[in-house]
Structure 1
Amino acid sequence: MTTLHGTSEPRFAGLRESLRQNIASGEEIGASLVVDIDGERVVDLWGGHRDAARTTAWEENTLTNVWSITKTVTSLAALMLVDRGELDVYAPVARYWPEFAAAGKREVEVRHLLSHTSGVSGLEQPATVEDLYDARGAAARMAAQAPWWKPGTASGYHVMNYGHLIGELVHRITGRSLRQFVAEEIARPLGADFQIGAARADWTRVADIVPPPPWPSVPAATGASAGTDSPAHKTLTGPAVAPETANTPAWRAADIGAANGHGNARSAARILSALARGGQVDGVRLLGEKTIDFVFDVQSDGVDLVNGLPVRWGIGFALPKKATLPWIPDGRVAFWGGWGGSMIIADLDRRMTISYVMNKMGSGLLGSDRSTAYVQAVYDQLP
């Protein structure tokens, strides 16, 4: 019998059983799942294994690479600077980072970075994964580039460079790296077991990423136009990143605020509950209500030039759109997911945060059959 650890209210028995069955069947290898409603963890579950061979148990304090859930924490960091009056989302990026004005980007605004509409969604060739490990050097290269489409006219998912762009703004304003800021201003005050990268001392509790089936090609993977001069092709090859890269020491040591956050469902929910709970988490204030309103200022609404998905972007987060994920309800809801299926949802209308993190990746860019079933099971039990 598969043992599932943690607690859940009786009304979520179906959700608990779904997770247990997926672990038992092999659909999941290891996973954690949290539902926080106004500060109470009504679901807090974990189970399975940290490795594909199923030799090491997924424990309460297991961490894993959460891919693009990292972006939501990076967005929160930027919004905290907005809340403090140190960053203006409608100001040119060049106000804080003068070099970014190069090659026709003088009018690109901070909100364009935060909503994936800046036109700078990757590195010009030649580009390797190793280039991303030099966070400030890669950011300097991006500042020198011309945009790949007219900024502000459409979104083009900033797959691997979102944290480099926002991180450079954080550095210019605070003098600290994005990784430092997240550790000192978010994770530590909240007591959240989350970090960008992973300290070597924690590697023994990190669950390895188990890759999905290989994509046949860039066009088939994204559904976007992917000629060699298209934003999709340039982004997904600038640089291309294999899932297995997440298991390497170099990746874990890097500061990649788009994709190498390490945490679990509990820590991700703890951090993002700041949105759902009006900016405060157990007395720790991260944001004010007026700053949270920026999240719902729609910046683009259409088919993304890079990931091929119909996405409605606010400032820093995706907003509900039935064509994106029909199982996310309308209203004041902000969300995003990690490559392979992990998911974070901040539902402000219900003061609820849903967090799902796993190590066995599904084949989708956003969501999976598993995350669909889990989220639907949550909403089915709500008034």
Structure 2
Amino acid sequence: MNPLLDKLHPYPFERLRALTQDIKPNPAYRAISLGIGEPKHPAPQLVEDALVGSLKTLAAYPATAGEPKLREAIVGWLERRYGLRLDAASQVLPVNGSREALFALAQTVIDPSQPGATVVCPNPFYQIYEGAALLAGAQTAFANSDPARNFAADWSQIDEATWSRTQLLYCCSPGNPTGAVMPLGEWETLFALSDQHGFVIASDECYSEIYFREEPPLSGLEAAAKLGRHDFRNLIAFTSLSKRSNVPGMRSGFVAGDAALIKKFLLYRTYHGSAMNPMVQAASIAAWNDEAHVIANREQYRAKFAQVTPVLAAELDVALPDASFYLWAAVPGGDDIAFAQQLLAQYNVTVLPGSLLAREAHGVNPGAGRIRLALVAEKAECLEAARRIAEFTRSFKQSLL
């Protein structure tokens, strides 16, 4: 067996199940889960129609590089969304959801023969980053989020010696779990570090289309273009239809950026057997070419967050994020696990303790004392959950006196 498998940590949801397996929730309340970030809004009819209408495409093997029409649809969306014009043949590649691609990129770019090969991650973080690094034979280093700066990752925590060993950096904007969006100045800092030390930047942008400010979130590709980096050197952006179009079961997204990296990534994927299903390609073309369903989806989230956030903010330290579909709330007393366990027991609401989404780094676990609330269900269910959480929090505060 691959000994590197023993380095993997249990997934946050596995740890949560272990922490709650002996809890019997109050039967007076029906179960509501805000724990998993799985979109619950209906999938667009145009995507379903495209899937059904492409059944006869199953008789042929798909190309790993995807159909030209799909790549053209992707570059068309990038131009409309960010004002960019990429080459469909060399700078974009369809992938089976951002998750598998985020993992696979590390296997492509990491050279484990180099002493101390390192992957830098934000903290808290999407656990795929860590698993990808460890199974590629690298070690991890973490930049903690800073609540005083809207939970931006504090990249200055990474010292010069660590940067010199870094081969890959994962960043996530809008962030999971904080919803923070990276500004242009932060991108400029990361690009300068990449130029100095030669590492690749993997920009996870799967929440880019769910936002609450007037200005849409900045893409890493867009930031590079604004800074004159039109070759996107050492930059790969990851985007998914899962959240944008409510089709997580379809497993469809793309990577885009540095043509030299895309070429090597395509080579890896050819051997990895990761060509996209032809039906999924047809449905993806329909999704990328339509923006009306995305606008409607975003408005549903905006209306939901506008009603739910004040209910929770009356009792918890929580505020509307820049983007994404999570609320990142501080809990009274600072024990996020005890809060989540007692909330489940008394009110049958599941939330994810923030400490399970982070690692201890620089002397602290930056997720400790917070909970992640995924507002993915319909508005009425999210509001009911918020009212229960607020009621529970009032009593929880009393128990701490």
Q: TM-score range by the shorter chain?
A: under 0.3
Bigger fraction of residues in helix:
2
Greater C-alpha Rg: 2
Q: TM-score, normalised by structure 2?
A: 0.25
